Amino acid sequence: MRTKIFTSRQLKEAAQLIKQGELVAFPTETVYGLGANALDSKAVKKIFKVKGRPSDNPLIVHIAKKEQLYKIAYIKPETIKIIQKFWPGPLTIILKNKKNIPKEVTGGLDTIAVRMPKNKIALKLIELAGVPIAAPSANISGKPSGTSFEHVWEDFSGKIAGIIKAKRCEIGLESTVIDLTTKTPILLRPGGFDFEELSAVLPNLIFVSNKKIRIKKAKSPGMKYKHYSPNAKVILFEQRAINKMKSYQIKYKKLNKKVKIIISQKTKKFAKELFNIFRQCDKEKVDIILISSIDENKIGLAIMNRIKKAASKIVT
């Protein structure tokens, strides 16, 4: 398959491919998405095939206008309050679905994950396609998400119909996901909006680590499976164990392993670069990544969520 490269001036052509049941990768403010017509089950199946993604891992449905939400999900009063405050933006909401979206998108659940991105290219693509677009992150399943055109080209050149070339994604981590179908709203995945920002609007919002709850059926991407992992083995050092990093480096170098030490920072700049750093380690054929932890509040919660998902071992 020849993968077409589109600019922001060629969105009509890209949207036409979506209408025809093809896959198009597009930029958002968070990470690149791998998009298909959310109403076309055959098109959606292509996403799972090309990514190597488990079929029970639901997809996020992207919309261009808030009014589209009423066509695919049941709305609660708190939902209106949330979308007025945070949409368009890096927030995905889990709601009860109206069952007009194929089961391939929802993972067979009675819930649906929806967001309205804050990216002009993404919004225009959805508008021109005339349908909601189902899109997980544009990367091979389990690997670091694509945050630039170059990342997506490396993963999917020759495998999908098109890629929209644009600047690197602004945030660099996937959207925050909250579940509004439960009695108490739950933060399922930290991301572009932090817990503190959301709590100001949803005072009863809670966050429960995925390790503390038994997940039978994931309502959101990023919950059930290992994610964001480079080819290198990632070893995370908790803050009280950071002084052990040097000894681990010496140990692995004696075994002729190429080692990379990463000192994490609780900054938006580090969040934006994290997946790029992981991908660069793969290019450099790094065997072992030793990475330090940070405080798990504000942007630190999202950063640590991704690092923990990628880690093979945590040193305490």
End-to-end CA distance of the chain: 47
Q: Judge if pTM exceeds 0.75.
A: yes
The reply to whether 102 and 237 lie within a common domain is no
The reply to whether 191 and 293 lie within a common domain is no
Domain assignment of residue 227, yes or no: no
Give the chain as a 3 state SS string. CCCEEECCCCHHHHHHHHHCCCCEEECCCCCCEEEEECCCHHHHHHHHHHHCCCCCCCCEEECCCHHHHHHHECCCHHHHHHHHHHCCCCEEEEEEECCCCCHHHHCCCCEEEEECCCCHHHHHHHHHHCCCEECCECCCCCCCCCCCHHHHHHHHCCCCCEEECCCCCCCCCCCEEEECCCCCCEEEECCCCCHHHHHCCCCCCEECCHHHCCCCCCCCCCCCCCCCCCCCEEEEECHHHHHHHHHHHHHHHHCCCCEEEECCCCCHHHHHHHHHHHHHHHHCCCCEEEEECCCCCCHHHHHHHHHHHHCCEEEC
Domain assignment of residue 225, yes or no: no
State how beta strands 259-262 and 206-207 pair. Answer: unpaired
Tell me the CATH number at 240: 3.40.50.11030
Instruction: Specify the pLDDT at position 209.
Output: 72
Question: Residue 100 is part of which domain span?
Answer: 4-212
The reply to whether 154 and 293 lie within a common domain is no
Q: Which of 162, 178, 212 is the last residue of a domain?
A: 212
**How many domains are contained in the chain?**
2
Instruction: Specify the pLDDT at position 91.
Output: 98
Domain assignment of residue 228, yes or no: no
The reply to whether 162 and 261 lie within a common domain is no
The reply to whether 163 and 304 lie within a common domain is no
Q: Which of 212, 247, 265 is the last residue of a domain?
A: 212
Domain assignment of residue 113, yes or no: yes
The series of mean pLDDT values per 10 residues for the chain, 316 residues long, is 97 98 98 98 97 92 97 94 97 95 95 98 98 97 96 98 98 97 95 95 87 59 73 97 97 98 98 98 98 97 96 96
**Of 198, 270, 261, 201, nearest to 232 (Cα)?**
261
The reply to whether 45 and 113 lie within a common domain is yes
Instruction: Specify the pLDDT at position 8.
Output: 97
CB of 111 within 8 A of CB of 219? yes
Tell me the CATH number at 134: 3.90.870.10
The reply to whether 204 and 58 lie within a common domain is yes
The reply to whether 93 and 241 lie within a common domain is no
The reply to whether 154 and 252 lie within a common domain is no
Domain assignment of residue 217, yes or no: no
Q: Which of 212, 243, 276 is the last residue of a domain?
A: 212
Domain assignment of residue 226, yes or no: no
Instruction: Specify the pLDDT at position 6.
Output: 98
Instruction: Specify the pLDDT at position 221.
Output: 67
Domain assignment of residue 220, yes or no: no
Domain assignment of residue 302, yes or no: yes
The reply to whether 184 and 272 lie within a common domain is no
